Structure formats: structure tokens, C-alpha cells
């Protein structure tokens, strides 16, 4: 029986990296990467059974360093990218690598050598390194996969560079095929990036300080710029999955802003629901009126932005469409606004992600290692479906 109550999973290590397993469309699965200086870091594969409200996990060791961000291949569910802090000769820099998640042997006993593991809690094995990615001695902020390709094209977002790579997983190599650089001295560093799922995978968007830039990966040249997108640092970006020119951003000014990339002079809408920095913003993959955001105010907020969605007037009956009006007694059109605020966290919520297998399920992760799995409230779900 489906239950709206949240399900909480606790890690014993700090964490800020959360992704869904993009190539997995049958099982509700999220991946969490830990961020510890004291212990070997871990990758937790979290499977959620929405019928029984039970979480199953498998744990893999990531001894390369503390994980700052992650991504998963859109075509191979066993391939994972991490950006991790590597300390060498008293120097620390965030490097990037591609890994293969090894198969789990159900007969293998779990390892108890690391914090966060207990008998029967999941197996502990190491990730298998596919290849590392050259960072030109710059921190790699994120690794972006082309969602429209065969899983072989990625972009690394470094502090001053965007590097386009062609990955050959069979030979465990990655070849840099093009580069873009922020021009001018004293340029702020890249802080975030997102691949546009439209335009045949030919565009990405990046954030540097308060500016958002669009890039054509075929030429690695800027195609649009949003100056002063936020009053303070831009933290995250996402594209509407159904409307190809619509982009959402969030930042340290506590705001979420919507943009049309064809006209970047002003935002389409501004949300001011959070009271501290907004770290993550995500469109629902199917129902683009549903928008999640998470913040250092320890809250996750689910908004209904129907006016900027692909169905701004909702589902109309055929008779209503023909008449161009609503019959007396029919439902009132849905309005924009907050659907629900989720406050199960007690620390900064650095990441929020929708499940790729169930459009009504999402997960959020706070720095204290608390992963919370929630659902869209049933009343709102039925409004959308009916």
C-alpha cells in the first residue's frame, strides 16, 4: 500500500553528492557519495521498494578521496563519474574519474571494515576504475554526460575550462577533443553545469559567479549569456524536459529563477520560498510543472509551476476545448504555488533528485548524511492524472 510518509536512511559519514541511476528505469535507485577526510569514502547504492517502504543498499569503497559531485551514464547503469578531492604532496585538487560498479554477489559476506556498515547491511567492494580525466591542475566542478548520445560523450566543467571528451569504455580511455575557456583576466570560476536534453544534445549551460552561459558543444562557443542571473553566486541549473528553451536556476540570493534562453534580458518568474542559499533545483522528468528545490535552510520545497509548464491550462475535456470555455461546475484551473514543504532534515540539504523509474518519488540529501525519500502528495498526484 502506497504511503506518503518519508523514508529515512542514515549514513555515518558526511555527504553532499546524490544522483539517480539514469539508465535504470525499472527500479527506484539513488546513489550517494560520502565526503570524509578521516575515513575511506563510500558509494551507497540505494534501492527503494515503494510497495513495502523498504530500503536495500549496497556499499562500494571509493578510496580515491572525498566526493564532491557525481553523475551516472545515461546508457550504462554500471558506469559512474565522480569528482573527488585528491591530496598529493600537501596539495589538494578536485579530480575526476569514471568508474564501473562491480556486480554484487549475493553469497559474498558483507565487509565490516568501514563505518556505516553492519551485518546484513550490504556488501562492501571497491569501484573499478575505468579512466581518470585530466584537469589541467584546475578543480573539476562537475562531469556532464550527453543525454542524447550513446554514453561516450562527456564534458568536464573545470574552474576556467570546459573540456569535451570522447570516452572509449572498452579500452578504458578518454580523449579530449575540444576545449572552451572563460576569456579575460580575473574571470570568476565555473561553479555548475547542465547538459540541455534538447537540440540533439548540442548545448550545455554553465554558471560562473552570477552569470549563466549557454555553449554549443559542436563549436565550444557561447551562444547566449544571462548577465546577473542572480544577485549572488549561481549554485545549480536545470532544463525543462518538455519545453526546449526554458531554464531554471538557483543561488545564494535564496531565489529560484526561470529563464527563456531566447530572451535573457529578464527572468520569467522568481520564487522566494527559501530563507538561505538554494543549492539544488530539479524539474520532474515527466510532469514539468513539478519543481523541487533544496537549501541550507534545511528544507526541501515542492512547487507547482503550471503557468510555465507544457500544459499551462491542465487537462481539458474535449467539449471544453471545442467550446473554448469551461462548463459550470468543472474544476478551477490549477494555480502556481508551493505544494509541500519537507522538513525532515536538520542540516544543509545539498542535493535533491527525482527518481528515473517513478515520477512521483524523489530523494534529498543533507550534509549530516541523512537521505530522505519522499513522494509527491497523493492529492496533487491525482490532480495531475485525472
Report helix, strand or coil for 328. Answer: coil
Task: Show pLDDT as tens, one digit a residue, over the chain (386 residues).
Answer: 456 899 999 999 999 999 999 999 999 999 999 999 889 999 999 999 999 999 999 999 999 999 999 999 999 999 999 999 988 777 889 999 999 999 876 544 444 333 434 333 455 699 999 999 988 788 999 999 999 888 899 999 999 999 999 998 676 778 888 888 877 556 679 999 999 999 999 999 999 999 999 999 999 999 999 999 999 999 999 999 999 999 999 999 999 999 999 999 999 999 999 999 999 999 999 999 999 999 999 999 999 999 999 987 765 544 444 455 544 444 566 789 999 999 999 999 999 999 999 999 999 999 999 999 999 999 999 999 88
What pLDDT was estimated at residue 186?
A: 61
- pLDDT of 105-153, one tens digit each? 654 444 433 343 433 345 569 999 999 998 878 899 999 999 988 889 9
DSSP string, 41-106: EEEEEEEEETTTTEEEEEEEEETT-EEEEEEE-SS-TTEEEEEEEEEETTEEEEEEEEEEPPPP-T
Whether the CA torsion 346, 347, 348, 350 is positive or negative: it is negative
Q: How far is Cα 351 from Cα 106, in angstroms, rounded to an integer?
A: 30
* Continuous segment of H or E residues that includes residue 321: helix 318-323
pLDDT cut 70: percent of the chain above it:
87
- 264: which residues sit within 8 A by CB, 6+ positions away? 212, 224, 225, 226, 227
What tens digit of pLDDT does each residue of 203-220 get? 999 999 999 999 999 999
Question: How much is the pLDDT for 130?
Answer: 94
pLDDT at 327: 46
Terminal CA-CA length for the chain:
20
Question: What is the pLDDT at residue 3?
Answer: 66
pLDDT of the residue at 123? 53
* C-alpha dihedral sign at 321, 323, 325, 330: negative
Whole-number percent of the chain with pLDDT over 90: 75
How confident is the model at residue 107, as a pLDDT?
Answer: 46
| pLDDT value, residue 137 | 82
* pTM over the 0.85 mark: yes
Amino acid at each position: 500500500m502506497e504511503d506518503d510518509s518519508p523514508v529515512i536512511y542514515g549514513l555515518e559519514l558526511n555527504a553532499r553528492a546524490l544522483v539517480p541511476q539514469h539508465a535504470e528505469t525499472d527500479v527506484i535507485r539513488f546513489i550517494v557519495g560520502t565526503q570524509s577526510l578521516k575515513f575511506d569514502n563510500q558509494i551507497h547504492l540505494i534501492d527503494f521498494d515503494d510497495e513495502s517502504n523498504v530500503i536495500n543498499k549496497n556499499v562500494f569503497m571509493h578510496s580515491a578521496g572525498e566526493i564532491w559531485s557525481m553523475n551516472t551514464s545515461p546508457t550504462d547503469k554500471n558506469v559512474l563519474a565522480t569528482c573527488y578531492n585528491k591530496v598529493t604532496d600537501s596539495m589538494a585538487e578536485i579530480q575526476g574519474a569514471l568508474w564501473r560498479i562491480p556486480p554484487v554477489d549475493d553469497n559474498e559476506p558483507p565487509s565490516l571494515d568501514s563505518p556505516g556498515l553492519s551485518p546484513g547491511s550490504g556488501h562492501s567492494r571497491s569501484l573499478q576504475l575505468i579512466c581518470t580525466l585530466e584537469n589541467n591542475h584546475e578543480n573539476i566542478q562537475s562531469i556532464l554526460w550527453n543525454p542524447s548520445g550513446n554514453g561516450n560523450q562527456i564534458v568536464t566543467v573545470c574552474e576556467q575550462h570546459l573540456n569535451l571528451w570522447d570516452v572509449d569504455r572498452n579500452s578504458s580511455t578518454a580523449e579530449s577533443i575540444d576545449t572552451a575557456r572563460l576569456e579575460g583576466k580575473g574571470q570568476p570560476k565555473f561553479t555548475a553545469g547542465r547538459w540541455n536534453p534538447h537540440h540533439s544534445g548540442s548545448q550545455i549551460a554553465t554558471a560562473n559567479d552570477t552569470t549563466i552561459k549557454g555553449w554549443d558543444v559542436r563549436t565550444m562557443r557561447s551562444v547566449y549569456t544571462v548577465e546577473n542571473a542572480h544577485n549572488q553566486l549561481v549554485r545549480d541549473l536545470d532544463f525543462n524536459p518538455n519545453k526546449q528553451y526554458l531554464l531554471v536556476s538557483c543561488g545564494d540570493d535564496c531565489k529560484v529563477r526561470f529563464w527563456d534562453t531566447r530572451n535573457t534580458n529578464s527572468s520569467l518568474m522568481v520564487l522566494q520560498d527559501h530563507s538561505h542559499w538554494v543549492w539544488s533545483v530539479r524539474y520532474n522528468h515527466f510532469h514539468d510543472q513539478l519543481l523541487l528545490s533544496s537549501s541550507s535552510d534545511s528544507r526541501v520545497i515542492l512547487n507547482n509551476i503550471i503557468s510555465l509548464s507544457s500544459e499551462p491550462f491542465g487537462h481539458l475535456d474535449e467539449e471544453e476545448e471545442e467550446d473554448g470555455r469551461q462548463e459550470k461546475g468543472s474544476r478551477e484551473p490549477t494555480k502556481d504555488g508551493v505544494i509541500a514543504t519537507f522538513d525532515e532534515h536538520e542540516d544543509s540539504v545539498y542535493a535533491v533528485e527525482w527518481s528515473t523509474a517513478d515520477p512521483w518519488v524523489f530523494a534529498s540529501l543533507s550534509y549530516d548524511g541523512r537521505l530522505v525519500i519522499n513522494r509527491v502528495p497523493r492529492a496533487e498526484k491525482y490532480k495531475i492524472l485525472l
